[in-house]
Amino acid sequence: MSITQDPYAQRFGCTFIEGGGVTSARGFTAAGVHAGFKADPAKLDLALVVADEPCAAAGVFTRNVFCAAPVQVCRERLNESGDASASYGTARAVVVNSGGANAATGEPGRAAAREEARIVGAAVGCPEDEVLMASTGVIGVHLPLDPFRTGVPAALEAARTLSAAEGGASAARAIMTTDTHPKECAVTFTGDGVGYDGVTFTVGGMAKGSGMIMPNMATMIAVITTDAPVAAPHLHAALKRAVDVSFNKITVDSDTSTNDSCFCLASGAAARTEAAADASAEAACGSASPVSPASPALQPFDPESPAFARFQDALMQVCTALARAMATDGEGATRLVTVNVRGAASGADADAAARTVANSPLVKTAIYGHDANWGRVAAALGRSGARFAQEDADIDILGLPVCRAGLTVPFDEDEALARFEAPEVVIDADLHAGSAAATVWTCDFSHEYVSINGDYRS
Amino acid sequence: MSITQDPYAQRFGCTFIEGGGVTSARGFTAAGVHAGFKADPAKLDLALVVADEPCAAAGVFTRNVFCAAPVQVCRERLNESGDASASYGTARAVVVNSGGANAATGEPGRAAAREEARIVGAAVGCPEDEVLMASTGVIGVHLPLDPFRTGVPAALEAARTLSAAEGGASAARAIMTTDTHPKECAVTFTGDGVGYDGVTFTVGGMAKGSGMIMPNMATMIAVITTDAPVAAPHLHAALKRAVDVSFNKITVDSDTSTNDSCFCLASGAAARTEAAADASAEAACGSASPVSPASPALQPFDPESPAFARFQDALMQVCTALARAMATDGEGATRLVTVNVRGAASGADADAAARTVANSPLVKTAIYGHDANWGRVAAALGRSGARFAQEDADIDILGLPVCRAGLTVPFDEDEALARFEAPEVVIDADLHAGSAAATVWTCDFSHEYVSINGDYRS
């Protein structure tokens, strides 16, 4: 399933850009290079996303008590609110390295993260405080700084010379650890009829992390860019909402590692299509740059406005597509698993119920084995803490009713086996205890998983 | 590790009886037979434990919303308190069948459970309300009653003819599903110096269930018997305390299935050693039964008394030994894993921290792979919800310090590999956030686990 055809993402109604990514929005360049964090020179391991101008920036980070140095430093930087759980401020660049998590490295680790930012700031020409960072890889090992000293200038040069699409794609590859393919996408929405007539806005991004746990630990990193004009506090609110229903709804066994980071930068540089047309005409005559300096700055979106609502949808669409792509891409995973719970007494109940099913090794091995036995789903729902009566519960697997009112419903075993060929297995549960709903994504559990994570040294 | 040599159980200080089980306490007989719930006639599938007289009885059951018919009926019967979460009353017999869980069977299932009790009551000669029942096996399939009609009389006959030890052992085998061996044990403690001079009390029991999830679901069933004189409300309180630190501290991925049941019956029939000696002498002369009818009934233990405290310890010892035997006996499991957390801010924090580590597939596959990488343990602690600062955390694996103050401690890899040969892997974590502690037991995650539970039908 291609990321642009993802049915859950498409529900938000924006238009996917084919081949879109973190450089699709106006005002951003990016590139990925091999800097030396990874041994293999064929593997890119340093990504840089640079904004033409300082941007409103927001971050959502792991809540794991063992949080890594880059997360700690980013929280300090995005501290305009004074509230460590609402990280936003101003940023100009995001630097991501793979091949080392800079976690459990104490004060030297934090110093290294700040030095990393100084190097980027000097190369880009911005204050070091406007540089955000993320790292992914082995825990407990100190992050070498020399690769930044050579890699950052190389990445900056690549960002200037590569096309926007090539640069974004190389950045998406550079943040991978055991992902089997890069994850990036972008969508557009218009300002027509909501106060920004003729303007096309773009939201795009890249992510790494796979639904299957890595040999060390799952780390999720996402960098989202937009050219919509959104002030930092509202950007954070929108990002948090999007993360809560996308990245925070993927689970295998752990909801959060030590390094999980999601950034969003807003340049506000979206252009009116007429101005863009004018600028193109001028460029054809050789008289002005394609980005017309005469475009008036766009008024930031009022958070109560329909324009903001469209932006929220676009952000949801990008995050959902990236998150589901992550859940599908598990080492050893054979398919994406979607758990929908509805009829719960509260949002927390719905989430607990869906998450308990999605976290259950019993359910996930059953799916691997193409087994539609609903008893394991029921046992997971029943211990989740969600409030409901067993005689009110209905369960469907792959669209086949298997339980009604808490009792078995006979189903066609051959039909079930045939449906198990689908790349996505959907489990639906209705608790008939209220009206809250939640969806959680995971992947199945295979022998591969044990092989990879057991690292068996027999 | 033999159950009687279990170091955690031995800490409670009572004396194990070699080959002890559910018939070691005075006043109980038991047997297991093949009744026909399982297809293979070589497999026992019906167990009966019968008390000579009505007993104080207590039960602790699954809190899973999808609770099975036998659990519902037992809660109704042990309803002296009027409180569904404190099940106690009077009982004369416990009947357990394997080969069918009688879960998700609705009203017909409850009717079957009551009919099962009527059959046993008629055979034993007691009111049906004094019969408790448990079932284990496939969910959603109705429980046939004919096997009870033929099997219960056969079990009663076997209980009369077999020796106490043989009867108890056959009962322990009859409740097994995929356990690789029966689990039973018994301990003694004396009443010397605590108001019951010369009396030896016994607590014994049998359990089924393994730390590894079964093809359908893990069900834990335990039947504990004692000849100590304990009134039903205090018996329940003691049982609950023992279950909370034993059976409820084993986890693989699910803390509770639809059928989990733990029963304790107290006959009060322990004899003074002098009277027993007298009775034996009389029996040798052919004049009286070995159980002297002239023994005065023992005064029930005052719940605040030292005698009751000894009983509590004995119950803890039996439950701990059985629980750890279950955690070790996982299909595919290669070893028992013990997670000790101390220095937590509260009991709930300690339990959450230990349980999150014990439930983590990342940790469990690492153990399977003999990998002492502590990062996965840290990530689990960090997301558990327990309150602590990462720079205060210490972690040891197999007695080797691997993390101090949140930072890596280098360790001897060869020493670690050598220690991984032990049958029990111990993980210790100190959060330095308080003084609460908890211990949770689990087992490792292997390829076998996936094979068994994936039931791969390729």
Question: pLDDT (tens digit, 9 = 90+) per residue, A189-233?
Answer: 999 999 999 999 999 999 998 644 433 446 889 999 999 999 999
Is A139 touching B (CB cutoff 8 A)? yes
Q: What is the mean pLDDT of residues B323-340?
A: 85
Q: Is residue A255's pLDDT more than 70?
A: no
Chain A residue numbers with beta carbons less than 8 Å from the beta carbon of B453 are 361-362, 365-366, 369
User: What local confidence, expressed as pLDDT, does residue B291 receive?
Assistant: 44
User: What local confidence, expressed as pLDDT, does residue B335 receive?
Assistant: 85
Q: Is residue B427's pLDDT more than 90?
A: yes
Q: Residue B145: which pLDDT band, with cuts at 50, 70 and 90?
A: very high
User: What local confidence, expressed as pLDDT, does residue A252 receive?
Assistant: 65
State the best of A61, A63, A64, A65 to mutate against chain B, taking most chain B CBs within 10 Å: A65
Q: Are A240 and A224 in contact (CB under 8 A)?
A: no
At a CB cut-off of 8 Å and minimum separation 6, what does B317 contact?
B9, B10, B12, B13, B14, B16, B187, B203
Q: Are A96 and A46 in contact (CB under 8 A)?
A: yes
Q: How far is A450 from chain B (nearest CA, A)?
A: 6
Tokens 């009116």 label which residue? A272
Is B449 touching A (CB cutoff 8 A)? yes
Q: How far is B62 from chain A (nearest CA, A)?
A: 9
Q: How far is A98 from chain B (nearest CA, A)?
A: 17
Q: Which residues are paired to A190 by β-bridges?
A: A200
Is A421 touching B (CB cutoff 8 A)? no
Quote the tokens at residue A405: 């009112």
Nearest chain B Cα to A452, which residue? B365
Q: pLDDT tens-digit profile of B75-115? A: 999 999 999 889 999 999 999 999 889 998 999 999 999 99
Query: CB neighbours (10 Å) of residue B41?
Result: 9
Q: Is residue B67's pLDDT more than 80?
A: yes
| DSSP label of B100 | B
Active site residues of A: 219
State the best of B178, B362, B458 to mutate against chain A, taking most chain A CBs within 10 Å: B362
- The whole-chain average pLDDT of chain A stands at 89
Q: Is residue A457's pLDDT more than 60?
A: no
Is B389 touching A (CB cutoff 8 A)? yes
Q: What is the mean pLDDT of residues B233-258?
A: 86
Q: Is residue B212's pLDDT more than 50?
A: no
Is B408 touching A (CB cutoff 8 A)? yes
Q: Is residue B292's pLDDT more than 80?
A: no
User: What local confidence, expressed as pLDDT, does residue B458 receive?
Assistant: 27
Q: Residue A292: which pLDDT band, with cuts at 50, 70 and 90?
A: very low
Is B181 touching A (CB cutoff 8 A)? no
Whether B451 sits inside 8 A of A455 (CB atoms) is no
Query: CB neighbours (10 Å) of residue A2?
Result: 10
Number of A/B CB contacts below 8 angstroms equals: 204
Question: Across the interface, which of A67, A359, A453 has its CB nearest the CB of B366?
Answer: A453
Is B391 touching A (CB cutoff 8 A)? yes
3-class SS letters over A411-424: CCHHHHHHHCCCCE
pTM over 0.90: no
Q: What is the mean pLDDT of residues A54-81?
A: 94
Catalytic residue among B62, B178, B200, B219: B219
The lowest-confidence range among A162-171, A190-199, A356-365, B46-55 is A356-365
Q: How far is B458 from chain A (nearest CA, A)?
A: 8
CA distances (Å), origin A71, targets A94, A175, A202, B141: 12, 16, 27, 52
Q: How far is A104 from chain B (nearest CA, A)?
A: 5
Whether A258 sits inside 8 A of B382 (CB atoms) is yes
Among B215-219, B258-262, B319-323, B439-443, name the most confident range.
Answer: B319-323
The lowest-confidence range among A35-39, A252-256, B48-52, B347-351 is A252-256
Please name the residues between 214 and 233 in chain A that touch chain B, using a CB distance below 8 Å.
216-217
What DSSP line would sit under B350-366, residue for residue?
HHHHHHHHHH-HHHHHH
Q: Residue B457: which pLDDT band, with cuts at 50, 70 and 90?
A: very low
Chain A residue numbers with beta carbons less than 8 Å from the beta carbon of B107 are none
At a CB cut-off of 8 Å and minimum separation 6, what does A386 contact?
A341, A344, A345, A349, A350, A352, A353, A431, A433, B65
State the best of A453, A456, A458 to mutate against chain B, taking most chain B CBs within 10 Å: A453
Is A403 touching B (CB cutoff 8 A)? yes
Q: pLDDT tens-digit profile of B229-244? A: 999 999 999 999 999 9
Q: Is residue B253's pLDDT more than 70?
A: no
Q: Is residue B281's pLDDT more than 60?
A: no
Nearest chain A Cα to B383, which residue? A64
User: What local confidence, expressed as pLDDT, does residue A289 receive?
Assistant: 41
The ipTM is 0.83
Count how many Cα atoms sit within 13 Å of the Cα of residue A266 in the half-sphere of its side chain: 28
Q: Residue B450: which pLDDT band, with cuts at 50, 70 and 90?
A: low
Q: Residue B185: which pLDDT band, with cuts at 50, 70 and 90?
A: very high
Separation between Cα atoms, residue B444 and residue B367, nearest integer Å: 6
Is A54 touching B (CB cutoff 8 A)? no
User: What local confidence, expressed as pLDDT, does residue B362 receive?
Assistant: 78
Q: Is residue B254's pLDDT more than 80?
A: no
Quote the tokens at residue A384: 């989740």
Whether A450 sits inside 8 A of B449 (CB atoms) is yes
Whether B376 sits inside 8 A of A257 (CB atoms) is no
Q: Is residue B456's pLDDT more than 90?
A: no
User: What local confidence, expressed as pLDDT, does residue B194 receive?
Assistant: 95
Chain A residue numbers with beta carbons less than 8 Å from the beta carbon of B219 are none
Residue scoring higher pLDDT (B215 or B196): B196
Whether A216 sits inside 8 A of B376 (CB atoms) is yes
Whether A383 sits inside 8 A of B103 (CB atoms) is no
Nearest chain B Cα to A391, which residue? B106
Please name the residues between 236 and 275 in chain A that touch chain B, using a CB distance below 8 Å.
252-258
Chain A residue numbers with beta carbons less than 8 Å from the beta carbon of B406 are 66, 104, 106
User: What local confidence, expressed as pLDDT, does residue A278 receive?
Assistant: 56
| DSSP label of B387 | -
A278 burial via Cβ count (<10 Å: 0-12, 13-18, 19+): middle
Q: What is the mean pLDDT of residues A400-425?
A: 92
Separation between Cα atoms, residue B445 and residue A84, nearest integer Å: 37
Is B373 touching A (CB cutoff 8 A)? yes
Q: How far is A72 from chain B (nearest CA, A)?
A: 12
Q: pLDDT tens-digit profile of B356-403? A: 999 887 788 788 888 887 888 998 999 899 999 999 999 999 999 999
Q: How far is B311 from chain A (nearest CA, A)?
A: 31
Is A401 touching B (CB cutoff 8 A)? no
Q: Are B89 and B231 in contact (CB under 8 A)?
A: no
Question: Across the interface, which of B104, B252, B407 has its CB nearest the CB of A106?
Answer: B407
Q: How far is A193 from chain B (nearest CA, A)?
A: 45
Residue scoring higher pLDDT (A210 or A389): A389
Residue scoring higher pLDDT (B125 or A141): B125
Separation between Cα atoms, residue B291 and residue B26, nearest integer Å: 9
Determine the 3-state secondary structure of A79 from DSSP: strand
Is A360 touching B (CB cutoff 8 A)? yes
User: What local confidence, expressed as pLDDT, does residue A275 receive?
Assistant: 54
Q: Are B101 and B214 in contact (CB under 8 A)?
A: no
Q: How far apart are the first and last CA of chain A?
A: 37
Q: pLDDT tens-digit profile of A328-379? A: 887 677 889 999 999 999 999 999 999 999 988 778 878 888 888 788 899 8
Whether A370 sits inside 8 A of B406 (CB atoms) is no
